[in-house]
Amino acid sequence: MVDKDSGGFRAEQLRAWKRDHETMIGEVRQHGWSNSIELLRSGQMAPGLAREIIILFEDRRTFWASFDAEFPDRVRISLEGLRHDLTRLRRDCAAGSPLDIVVVALGQTIRHFFDSVERFDLTALRCDSGDPVWLAFESALRALRKSVGYQVSALADSFKFPLQGEFAAYLPQMSGVNGH
C-alpha cells in the first residue's frame, strides 16, 4: 500500500501505524488467549459455547468485506454489537476459565481497535486511498482482522470446528492462520 502510493506518507504516520499494529498483535499473543487455547484443547470446556463465539465472528462482514466496500460507521456499529454479544456469552463462562479468557482477549482486541480510531469521525469517513485518515482506518481494520483471525482460527482448531462462509475464505490471506 505504501510503496504503491505516489503521494507518499510521512515517516511519523508510518511509525504510528506500525506501532498500533505491533501493539494489537502483542496483546493477542501476550494476554493469555494462547494459554487458554491449550487448555481448551484438553477438552475442559463445552464446545457449544465455543461454537457460538465462532459464529458471532463468521457472521460479521466487518471481518471479511473488501475495504472499499466498508463504511466505517457500519464497522463501528457492528463491532459494538459484537462486544455486547461477547459480554452476553461471557455470562455462561466460568470466571477465569480458559474460554472466559479467550472471550476477554477478543473483547480487548476490539477495544484496542476502537482506541486506535477514536480520533476519526467514522460517520463521515469514506473510502479514499488518497485520504490519510481513511488509510489509518484501513490499517487499523486490517490489524483487527488479523488479530481476530488468529484468535478465532485457534479457537475453531481447538474444537475441530471448520470455519464457514466469507470469514473462512478471508483467512487464507492471513499468513500463519490455520497453517496458511
pLDDT tens figures, 147-163: 899 889 888 888 888 99
Digit-coded pLDDT (tens) for 107-138: 999 999 999 999 999 999 998 888 899 999 99
Kindly report, residue by residue over 23-73, the tens digit of the pLDDT: 666 655 555 555 555 555 555 456 888 899 999 999 888 888 887 777 999
Q: Quick check: 22 pLDDT over 80?
A: no
Handedness of CA 81, 87, 92, 98 (dihedral sign): positive
Which residue type does 99 have?
L
Give 150's contacts (C-beta < 8 A, 6+ positions apart). Answer: 28, 174, 176, 177
Closest CA to 116 of 147, 146, 142, 137: 137
CA nearest 57: which of 157, 124, 151? 151
The sign one gets for the Cα dihedral 152, 90, 61, 72 is negative
H-state helical runs in the chain: 11-30, 33-41, 47-58, 72-90, 98-117, 132-158, 165-170
Is residue 105's pLDDT more than 80?
yes
pLDDT given for residue 29 in this prediction: 56
What pLDDT is stored for residue 25 in this prediction?
A: 61
Residue 92 has pLDDT above 90, yes or no: no
